Amino acid sequence: MSDARHDIGVAVSILLTVPIFAVWAFALLDIVRRPDLRALRKVVYGAIVVLVFPATLLYLLARPTSIVRHRTHDREDWRDELVDRLEARPGGPPVVSRSQEQQMLDRVGRLRR
């Protein structure tokens, strides 16, 4: 009977440990890939995430959504630029001129065809 309890204990431990390590790994990978953080901040965030598991969950819940896109900008991606400009200052003065806005709308129209 003690062998069965031991086996159940091992299975429960594995079922709890694997997701925790997966969340830690995802958070650390996200921190390392963030282009807006300098190396020192990445190290500090990484250390906090590793040492305090609730901080890992808070980081994943509170991270900025604009940082979620981790693309390399080796090519011109005007769609991301358009989204960034539109999100930049809601309700403020226009971010782009009328001619730039028309050019972007023309590009979007061509994509839909």
Measured from the Cβ of residue 100, the count of other Cβ atoms closer than 10 Å reads 13
- In this predicted structure, what is the pLDDT of residue 40? 92
Answer yes or no: are the C-beta atoms of 31 and 49 closer than 8 Å.
Answer: yes
Count of Cβ atoms closer than 10 Å to residue 45 Cβ:
20
Lowest-pLDDT choice from 4-8, 14-18, 61-65: 61-65
Residue-wise pLDDT for 41-92, tens only, equals 999 988 988 888 888 888 888 876 655 554 555 455 666 676 666 666 666 5
Is residue 58 within 8 A of residue 51, CB to CB? The reply is no
Q: Is the dihedral of CA 16, 22, 26, 32 positive or negative?
A: positive
Please give the model's pTM, rounded to 2 decimal places.
Answer: 0.49
Q: Which helix (H) or strand (E) holds 38?
A: none
